[in-house]
Amino acid sequence: MNEWAIYASGISRSFGDVRAVNGVDLAIPKGEVYGFLGPNGAGKTTLVRMLITLLLPSAGQAWVVGHELVSAAKEIRLHIGAALQDTALDPKQTGIEFLRLQGFLYGLTGRQVRQRVDELASLIDIGDAMSRSIGTFSGGMKRRLDLAAAMIHNPEVLFLDEPTTGLDPLSRRRVWEEIRRVNQELGVTIFLTTQYLEEADQLAHRVGIINQGVLAAEGTPAELKRSLGSDVIIAQVEGDAEEARLALGRLGAIEQVDVYGNEVVARVLNGAAQIGAVALALDQNGIALREIRMHTPTLDDVFLSVTGERFEEVGSEEQADVE
């Protein structure tokens, strides 16, 4: 398993009668940024907690940096870093003090700690603020400091659990820059969960979507988008959306029609040529149209197809929990 940064075969986790993760297979090569998406309660956090050795699997096996998850948990912890949603930062410590403490906890010598702190201070670009108390840091600075703490011991694999949740757009972009630098300059494999589709699209080499504990889709962002066809027409209707689906299903140019609430989603090869025919078919069948729009497939369309939910709706729910 040494050729893989993360490898899992049929890994599962149950809580009583509830199976939160159900037979997930993963094969993540070294140096990859793997984006991991899923709706609330789909099993994202449970899977991450198993891979970082905080939870034991109920079934299946997994290897992280070549070490088996259950029998070699201590070795795994020495070779991975994890920046979870809740940052454990002491507001009274300075940034330098916090990083030094993390280094000593990992068994680094004083000289190694000083060297790593110098390297990471440059990497996360906090500047003179490193000598200030963490309580004075902005949210973005705290996120970047937490990222540095997860890397103090030169991990081979870095787990980032929604690293930009709650950040303003500028701070989010800066964290993206740090993630790219860590991956490209240091060769660190990154397992990234996120509530922002743009983040997965921009950063991830491949994306996995988990739904109801099962890995329901996986591929590069481009592959996942292409799997839906060339164009997507979305019609918001009043009344019976199922009747609208049947009406559009009779159009020869429509490849597939799905219903999500009051939205009818049609997949077509040439949306610009067919959007008028879609609107006309709905009108001829007495279906009131609130809105109709067309675009090329996005990761949100993939997410909707796999989970039955729009990703921005999932993200807004999680953001409300954060706030």
Task: Spell out the residues 6+ positions from residue 270 whose beta carbon is closer than 8 angstroms to its own.
Answer: 230, 231, 253
The 3-state secondary structure of 42-98 reads CCHHHHHHHHCCCCCCCEEEEEECCEECCCCHHHHHHHEEEECCCCCCCCCCEHHHH
4-220 matches 225-322 in fold: no
Q: What is the distance between the alpha carbons of residues 127 and 65, in angstroms, rounded to a whole number?
A: 32
Residue 219 token pair: 């591929």
Q: Which fold has domain 4-220?
A: Rossmann fold (3.40.50)
Would you kindly state where each structural domain of the chain is located, as residue ranges?
4-220, 225-322
For the entire predicted model, the pTM comes to 0.82
Q: Tally Cβ neighbours within 10 Å of residue 219.
A: 15
In order along its 323 residues, the chain shows pLDDT tens digits of: 678 999 999 999 999 999 999 999 999 999 999 999 998 888 999 999 999 999 999 999 999 999 999 999 999 999 999 988 766 788 899 988 999 998 998 889 999 998 888 888 766 677 778 889 999 988 778 888 888 888 889 899 999 988 887 777 887 888 888 889 889 988 999 999 988 888 999 999 999 999 999 999 999 999 998 888 778 999 999 988 999 999 998 888 888 899 998 999 998 888 888 999 999 999 999 999 999 999 888 888 899 888 888 776 555 444 433 32
Architecture of the domain delimited by 225-322: 2-Layer Sandwich (3.30)
